[in-house]
Amino acid sequence: MRVPVAAVLNGGEILPAQFPSTSSQARLPRDQQGPCEEVDPIDAAIAITSKQGLRTFPREVIADPRPRHGRKSEYSYDPFSPPTLKQVEQAFNLGKAPDDWRKLARVSRHPGSGDLLFIDPMETPNEARKRWQHEVSPKSFHGAIIGNAENHCNVTAYDVAIGGGKASSDPRFYRYLCAVADWRLKKSDSLRDRPGIEKWNDFIKTFNAYWSDETVERKVLIEGSVDYYSTGTLPACVPALHVGLPSTVVCEIINGRRTESAIAPKTHKPSDDIPK
């Protein structure tokens, strides 16, 4: 039987006075600081996949790591072109494992010598992952259940994926699928801009070839999800939980055969217990 349980709103909470001195949150103005929580290893691994998740270190002076033979020449003191920067980056990381590879945000000639370079190095994936595991981030209210051990002892919500997805080999269509799956698109001009959050009009313009080919049902669900992100109002096309899955959800069994998407829930009647 269901037992009412009071929600724990501050479990695992880290207050500004407890922030690690190395945390980016500790360097914010006091009026911009608020309750935070630890970054778990999975979130730390996800964070390093975006450019915003990697820090750029202070500018350094290094000897040009490229062999003299075959160097791409840059004669001005402006930032190197992308092909030349890539050549320096590859020579700089020669022999390193992928997770120890250090990207260079900027490379330019040093005025003191033709063999010296200015570089703006970035964190390696291993360095960034370790830092994020000792970082704190603002409390997430993405789900209805605040994620802490006390709440998860009583109720937990999670996503489950069984089997493998079918990947698209078309890079543009792949980006479209990612944008649709992310669903965090800014539709209202009254909402402040946020890094990494695309605007709805830009999404339509970029992916019009795919959007125009979608069925009406899918368009309603996609745009309704975008509205939900901005307003918190569920799309009208999403059925109540007792109704079953939306018709736009595709279900397959392990051999690849599709099954019915909208499954009517079974109801139990006392008469069902009578032997036939």
Q: Please report how many Cα atoms fall inside a 13 Å half-sphere around the Cα of residue 257, on the Cβ side.
A: 2
pLDDT by residue (tens digit) across 99-149?
Answer: 999 999 999 999 877 789 999 999 999 999 888 888 898 887 666 667 777
The DSSP string of 60-116 is: EEEE--S-STTPPP--SSSPPPHHHHHHHHHHHTTT--GGG---EEEEEE-TT-TTE
What letter would DSSP give residue 56?
B
Q: Of 109, 98, 105, whose CA–CA distance to 121 is shortest?
A: 105
**pLDDT at 152 (0 to 100):** 75
Distance CA 138, CA 36 (A): 4
pLDDT by residue (tens digit) across 139-165?
Answer: 876 666 677 777 777 776 666 666 666
Pairing relation of β-strands 60-63 and 136-138? unpaired
pLDDT by residue (tens digit) across 170-226?
Answer: 889 988 988 888 777 877 666 666 666 788 888 999 999 999 999 998 899 899 888
Distance CA 222, CA 219 (A): 5
**pLDDT at 1 (0 to 100):** 44
**pLDDT at 32 (0 to 100):** 92
Amino acid sitting at position 250: V
Phi then psi dihedrals of residue 106, to 5 deg: -160, 140
Give 21's contacts (C-beta < 8 A, 6+ positions apart). none
Q: Element (H or E) spanning 223, and its range?
A: helix 216-231
pLDDT by residue (tens digit) across 44-87?
Answer: 888 888 778 899 999 999 999 999 888 888 888 899 999 999 99
Distance CA 171, CA 69 (A): 36
Distance CA 76, CA 99 (A): 32
pLDDT by residue (tens digit) across 233-272?
Answer: 888 877 776 666 666 666 666 666 666 654 444 555 556 6
**pLDDT at 211 (0 to 100):** 95
pLDDT by residue (tens digit) across 9-50?
Answer: 888 889 999 998 888 899 999 999 999 988 877 888 888 887
